Amino acid sequence: MAKLTEKHNYEGTLVCVEGIDGSGKSTQLSLLRDWLKANGKDVIYTEWNSSPLISQTTKLAKKKNMLSPRTFSLLHAVDFADRLKQVIAPALKAGFIVLADRYAFTAFARDVARGVDPKWVRQVYDFAIRPDLTIYFDIDPKTSMERICFNRTPKFYEAGMDLKLSNDPFESYLIFQTRVINEYKKMLEEFDIVKLDANDSIHSKQVEIRKMLTKILEAKGVEL
């Protein structure tokens, strides 16, 4: 692990949010974006599995349920590498605040929950830049499921159905996401990740996040 544990020297600031689906991380990130923009900051936003190079292929392959855990992991790494080299790193060099909805930690949590070796996947993402601030939104799998699956069945991969944990997608979701959460919790110390309780109000979480970011920006000499 080289770069992910070393402070970067770019002028910009990298903020990441992590957590399982339904933990409210995207809501918080978009509130943060609007606030930063209103303050005249240069901000870009990037999300998991969205690179034009590969994201459509990955989505298609997911629909056909044809991915092994390792191929799944490498395809997401391609997506991440593409965005890191073409979007994130140039923006950081240009002094932007980069907001990332999910980062390499998503891969570490999900891939390892699928049985991929933790050291292997960390090595694969060795080129990732260490964020200035990473926030993990802690939620229990049941609440997450109630939030995202109130009107639909969990999807094949999000329920970890590829692991054959249970034939019932709801039950499989709970088992799989519990594993993902365990992986996230192991990472809190390893990568200096801040944990927030997803059950707190939208307002109180946003206040907390703004406070943390303001401090980081001040240390870099950026006024808000």
Partner 1 sequence: MTKFKHGYEGLLIVIEGTDGSGKSTQLELLKRSLQDQSYGVMVSEWKTSRLIADVIDDAKDRNLLNATTYSLLYAADFADRLENQIIPALKSGFVVLLDRYYYTALARDVVRGQNIEWVKNLYDYAPEPDLVFYLDMPVDVLLKRIIGTTGLDFYESGRDVGFSTDFYNSFEIYQNKCLEQYEKMKKRYGFISIDGTKTISEIHKIMSGEVQKILDTGVLD
Contact set with partner 1 (CB under 8 A): 52-54, 57, 61, 66-68, 70-71, 74-75, 77-78, 81-82, 84-86, 120, 123-124, 126-127
Q: Quickly count helices (H) and strands (E) in the chain.
A: 9, 5
Q: Which is nearer to partner 1, 79 or 138 (CB)?
A: 79
Q: Output the smallest distance, CB 78 to partner 1, in A.
A: 4
Q: Output the smallest distance, CB 59 to partner 1, in A.
A: 12
Q: Which is nearer to partner 1, 17 or 89 (CB)?
A: 89
Q: Which is nearer to partner 1, 76 or 205 (CB)?
A: 76
194 DSSP β-pair partners: 135
Q: Which is nearer to partner 1, 115 or 224 (CB)?
A: 115
| Both tokens assigned to 159 | 């329920």
Phi, psi for 201 (deg, rounded to 5): -70, 155
Q: Output the smallest distance, CB 125 to partner 1, in A.
A: 10
Hey, what amino acid is at 134? T
Give the burial class of 107: count Cβ atoms within 10 A of its Cβ; 0-12 exposed, 13-18 middle, 19 or more buried.
buried
Q: Output the smallest distance, CB 157 to partner 1, in A.
A: 15
Among 4, 1, 47, 15, residue whose Cα is nearest residue 134: 15
Among 115, 131, 146, residue whose Cα is nearest residue 15: 131
Output the CA torsion 19→109→190→211 (10° steps): -10
Question: Quick one: the chain helix, strand, coil %, rounded to 5?
Answer: 55, 10, 35
Q: Output the smallest distance, CB 52 to partner 1, in A.
A: 8
Q: Which is nearer to partner 1, 67 or 217 (CB)?
A: 67
Q: Output the smallest distance, CB 90 to partner 1, in A.
A: 12
Among 25, 57, 39, 62, residue whose Cα is nearest residue 205: 25
Q: Which is nearer to partner 1, 5 or 68 (CB)?
A: 68
